[in-house]
């Protein structure tokens, strides 16, 4: 029976926490962003950069 390392378990728990708090972009989330911006690349890019700047200023990453 294979076992996992402590580091692998920590990484998995972090992934679960990120999923719980909505910090992972899912395919459905990406589709929603694209459809909300009428699939305009410039508008989508601008929105993503604004979100990135907000997260960076809040210390999310």
58 pLDDT band, cuts 50/70/90, is confident
In whole angstroms, how far apart are CA 23 and each of 3, 44, 52, 53? 28, 18, 12, 15
Residue 10: pLDDT above 90? yes
Overall pTM > 0.75:
no
pLDDT at 22: 79
Our count of domains for the chain comes to 1
Establish if 51 belongs to a structural domain.
yes
- Give per-residue pLDDT as tens, 20-47: 887 888 889 889 999 999 999 999 999 9
What is residue 24's DSSP assignment? S
Residue 58 sits in which domain range?
25-61
Q: Tell me what percent of the chain is helix, strand and coil, each rounded to the nearest 5.
A: 70, 0, 30
Q: Is residue 15 assigned to a domain?
A: no
């Amino acid at each position: 029976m294979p076992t996992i390392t402590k580091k692998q378990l920590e990484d998995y728990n972090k992934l679960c926490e990120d999923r719980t708090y909505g910090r992972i972009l899912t395919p459905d989330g990406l589709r929603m962003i694209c459809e909300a911006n009428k699939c305009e690349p410039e508008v989508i890019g601008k929105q993503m950069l604004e979100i990135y700047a907000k997260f960076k200023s809040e210390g999310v990453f």
